[in-house]
Amino acid sequence: MQLSQLHLRNWRSYRNATFNLPGPDRSGKRNVILVGAQNGVGKTSFLVALYLGLFGREAMDLIEGFRRVSSGDSDLKSYKKLIESLLHRPARDSEDPHCSVSLTFTGEDGAPILIQRRWNFLSAGRARNLDSRDGEEILIETNGRKKVCESWQDANNLIQELIFPANVMPCLFFDGEQAQERVEAAGGRALFEAVKTLYGTGILDQLGESLRSFINNERAAIQRDVGVIRSDELDEKRQLVDVKKDELTQVQASLLNSRKSKAKAEEERQRLENDLYAMVGDKASDIEEYASTVAALQAEEVKLRQELVGGINQIPILLALSRASSRVAGILRAEQIRDRWLLIKDEASGKAAMIVEQVLPTSHAPDVSPPLLDEQTHQLRAKLELALEALWSPPPEGCASDFQFPFLQNSDRVSILQKIERYSKAGGDSLADAAIRLQSVETRLKETRARFDRVKDIQPQLQKLKADLQNALDDHREAQNHVSGLEHRERGIQQEINDLRGSIGQMEGRQEKVSPVQQKLDVAQRVRDLVDDAKEQLVALCKVALEERCTKHFHAMISDEYLRFHAKFEADSEPWLEGPSGQQVLISTMSGAQKRAFGLAFSLAVADVSGTEAPIVIDTPVGNMDSKYRARVLKYVADAAPGQVIILSHDEEVSGNYVDQLRPKIRKQFLVEFEQVIEGSGVSTVYEDRYF
C-alpha cells in the first residue's frame, strides 16, 4: 500500500495544494520522497493532514502542541477548537468557508482508495455541527463506488478495514521528536498494543467478538422466526461458562500478585536468616533447618485439615443419600416434568384466552349472522374454553402433583441430580488415615517449634532480629495460606468450568438440530472456543517477532555500545534493552539520538511485522543527531523500509551531503515556499522536482 496523492484545500497556510506522491520504482530501490520546507511553512501541516484526514477526532491527541480546552470539556468542544484553528485565514470571509483533506492510497491490488474529509464553517470561521454531515462530510471511494458516510464513526470503522487501525497510525506517521517521546511517555503497552491490534491477537479479538455477535443475533432470529426453543438452559450454561472464565481470570490475576507477595516474604525471611547466621554462626543453620521444617509441617497441616474437613463435610451427604437418594431423585425428576408442563400450560392458556376473546368477544356481540343470543354466546364460550383446555390437560405421565421443593430452579434440580449420582459413588475410607497423619504432623510441629524457640533465644542481643524473623515467618505463612486458598479456588473454578463444559457437551449431543442455522451456531461456538484458546499463544509470537525486528534495525543504526543488547517489550512497562548478562537499560535513560533511533527502529519493525508496504512518513527524522549518526540513520531507513519513505525536512537537517548520499534512493522531491499576503497570513506553494 502506498500514499499516491495528498490534496489540501484552505488547510492552514495551503490555499489549494496537491502532492503527487509516486510509489517506489520497479526495482524498489528508489523509494524516498523528500519534502523540503522551512519552519512554519507547512511541514507539520502535511503530517496533521494525514492524521485528521484519516481519523478526524480520533487522531487529535497525536498533533504536536495540541491541548484540550480543559479536563472538563468534551472531545467535541476540543475538536471544534482544533478544526477552527486550521482553516486558512482568508477563507473565513468567503461565501462558502470550508477546508478539506483528500488522501488517495493505492492498495496492494493496484486499486485506488480515496478518503476525503471536508469541514464546513459559518461566518467568521466558526465550525458547523461536527457531529453531523453538515459540519464534517466524509467521502470514501473504493472500486469506483463513492460513499458519503452517515457518521464519523461509520467512516473511521471503514477506514480501519481499508487502511489500518487508528492506534497504529503514530507508528507509521510521526514527528521525529515524537518517536522518542512515544518511547518515554507511552510505555510498552502503547507500542505493543498497536502491533497486537493490527497483526496479533487483535484480529482474534475481533473474530471472537464477531462470532459472539453472530451467535447472539442468529439466536434472536431463531426465537423470532421459529418461537422459543428449549435451548435456554444450554444458553444459561454457556453464559455461566463466560462468567466463570471472567472469574477465573480475576482469581489468576490475584494469584499472580499473591505469589509475588509470597516471594517477597520469602526473600525477607531469607535475608533475616542470613543476618542471624552472621551473628551466631552454626546456630543459624539450626534455625534455618527448624524454620524450613516448621514451614513444611505447617503446609502439610493445612493440607491435611482441608482434606479432613472436606471428607467430614461429605459424610452427612453420604449417609443421607444411602437411604433417600432414590426417593429424592424420583421427586426431582417428577418436578422437572411438572416445571416443563407448567411452562407449556401458562403459554397455552394465555393463547387460549386470546382465541376465545377473538372468536366470542365480551365487549360486543359476535359478528355472525343470524346474531346469537347472550345465552348462546355464554354457552359457546364455555364449550370453546373447555375444548382449548385439552391442549394442556391432563398433566403428562410422571408429572408431580405439586412441588415438594418449590424453592429450587430447574438448573438447581439438574445440579442436585448430578451431585446425588457423584456422592453416591464417593467413600470416606481415607478419613481415618488423614486423621492419623494430621496427629503425627501436629506432634512433630510442636516438637520442632520447641527446639526452634530454644535455639533462637541463644543471646539477648538477638531479640529484635528474632522478632523480625518471626514476623517474616508469619508474613510468609500468611502469604502461603493466601496462595493456597487462591489455588484451591482456582482449581474449584476450573473444575466448575470443566463440569459445565461436560454438561454442555452432553446437552449439545442430545439437542436436536432444529434448523441449518442451529448447526451453524454450533460450529460458530466451537470456533469461538478455539479462538479463545489460541489468543494467549499468539501474544507470545507477536511479542517475539516485534522484539527481533526492532533489535535488528536498532543495531544497524547505533554505535557499538549496545550491539549485544536486545530490545524487550512488556505490556505493563516501558521498553528496555537487555544485555548478555541480564542487565537492563531503559530506553528513556538513553541519549536523545539513541531514543530517536529506537523510535525509528520500532516503526520499521511494525512495517516488517505487518507484511504490507505501508508508507512511513517522518517529520524531522534526525534533528538532534550528529553527522555520523545522521548519515547512517538516513541511509538505513531508506534501505530497510519496505515501501514509501516520505521525509519532511528543513534546510539544516537533510541537505547538502546527506541529500547526495540519498540520491540513489530518491524517487521525488518537493519544495514548499511561503509568501505573506497580509499581516499574519500567507500562502504556501508546492513546487515539484525542487529542493533546497
Computed from CA positions of residues 671, 675, 679, 681, in that sequence, does the dihedral angle turn out positive or negative? Answer: negative
Give me the pLDDT at residue 72, please: 47
Per DSSP bridges, beta strands 32-37 and 645-649 are parallel
Give mean pLDDT, residues 276-297.
70
Task: Report phi then psi at 662, rounded to 5.
Answer: -85, -10
Collapse the DSSP code of 200 into the 3-class scheme (helix H, G, I; strand E, B; otherwise coil) and give the result: coil
Per DSSP bridges, beta strands 145-148 and 173-175 are unpaired
Residues 44 and 174: beta-carbon distance below 8 Å: no
Q: What's the pLDDT band for 199 if we cut at 50, 70, 90? A: very low
Give me the pLDDT at residue 608, please: 83
Q: Residue 221: which of 651, 514, 454, 478 has the closest Cα?
A: 514
Give mean pLDDT, residues 401-427.
78
pLDDT exceeds cutoff 50 at 416: yes
Q: Which domain holds residue 314?
A: 259-462
Collapse the DSSP code of 604 into the 3-class scheme (helix H, G, I; strand E, B; otherwise coil) and give the result: helix
Task: Give me the percent of the chain exceeding a pLDDT of 70.
Answer: 82
Residues 165 and 197: beta-carbon distance below 8 Å: yes
Give me the pLDDT at residue 157, please: 92
pLDDT tens-digit series, residues 19-76: 999 999 988 889 999 999 999 899 999 999 999 999 999 998 888 777 666 554 567 8
Distance of CA 492 to the CA centre of its chain: 26
Give me the pLDDT at residue 227, please: 47
pLDDT tens-digit series, residues 514-570: 556 666 777 778 777 777 766 666 666 677 888 899 999 999 998 788 999 999 887
Give mean pLDDT, residues 386-402.
86
Give me the pLDDT at residue 151, please: 95
Give mean pLDDT, residues 328-333.
86
User: Which of 21-35, 70-84, 283-297 has the least mean pLDDT?
Assistant: 283-297
Q: What's the pLDDT band for 371 if we cut at 50, 70, 90? A: confident
pLDDT tens-digit series, residues 442-470: 888 888 777 777 665 555 656 777 788 88
Question: Cis omega (within 30 of 0) on the bond before 664?
Answer: no
DSSP 637-683: HHHH-SS-EEEEE-TTTS-THHHHHHGGGEEEEEEEEEEEEETTEEE
Structural domain contains residue 338: yes
Give the per-residue SS3 of 236-269: HHHHHHHHHHHHHHHHHHHHHHHHHHHHHHHHHH
pLDDT exceeds cutoff 80 at 654: yes
Structural domain contains residue 577: no
Greatest extent of the chain over all pairs of C-alpha atoms, in Å: 117
Q: 31: phi > 0 → left, psi -120 to 50 → alpha, else beta; which?
A: alpha
Higher pLDDT, 220 or 317: 220
pLDDT exceeds cutoff 60 at 15: yes
Give me the pLDDT at residue 612, please: 67
Structural domain contains residue 292: yes
Indicate the average pLDDT of the chain: 83
Q: 579: phi > 0 → left, psi -120 to 50 → alpha, else beta; which?
A: beta
Structural domain contains residue 267: yes
Q: Residue 398: which of 343, 340, 345 has the closest Cα?
A: 340
pLDDT tens-digit series, residues 128-159: 999 999 999 999 999 889 999 999 999 999 99
pLDDT exceeds cutoff 70 at 185: no
Structural domain contains residue 349: yes
pLDDT exceeds cutoff 70 at 332: yes
pLDDT exceeds cutoff 90 at 266: no
Number of independent structural domains in the chain: 1
Give me the pLDDT at residue 203, please: 56
d(CA 645, CA 662): 12
Q: Residue 682: which of 143, 89, 45, 60 has the closest Cα?
A: 89
pLDDT exceeds cutoff 50 at 646: yes
Which amino acid, 118?
R
pLDDT exceeds cutoff 80 at 613: no
Q: Residue 358: which of 393, 331, 385, 379 has the closest Cα?
A: 385
C-alpha distances in Å from residue 242, one per residue of 25, 238, 239, 505, 539: 52, 7, 5, 15, 21
Structural domain contains residue 313: yes
Q: Residue 583: which of 566, 602, 607 has the closest Cα?
A: 566
Structural domain contains residue 402: yes
d(CA 5, CA 562): 40
Q: Residue 344: which of 230, 232, 233 has the closest Cα?
A: 230
Higher pLDDT, 386 or 69: 386
Say if residue 252 is exposed, middle or buried (CB neighbours under 10 Å; 0-12, 13-18, 19+). middle
Contacts 24+ apart (CB under 8 A), 234-238: 234/504, 234/507, 234/508, 234/511, 236/411, 237/411, 237/500, 237/503, 237/504, 237/507, 238/504, 238/525
Q: What's the pLDDT band for 200 if we cut at 50, 70, 90? A: very low
C-alpha distances in Å from residue 310, one per residue of 303, 315, 392: 11, 9, 46
Give me the pLDDT at residue 319, please: 60
User: Which of 265-269, 314-318, 493-497, 557-561 has the least mean pLDDT?
Assistant: 314-318
Which amino acid, 105?
F
Q: Residue 168: which of 160, 177, 176 has the closest Cα?
A: 160
Computed from CA positions of residues 615, 619, 621, 627, in that sequence, does the dihedral angle turn out positive or negative? Answer: positive
Structural domain contains residue 324: yes
Give me the pLDDT at residue 73, please: 53
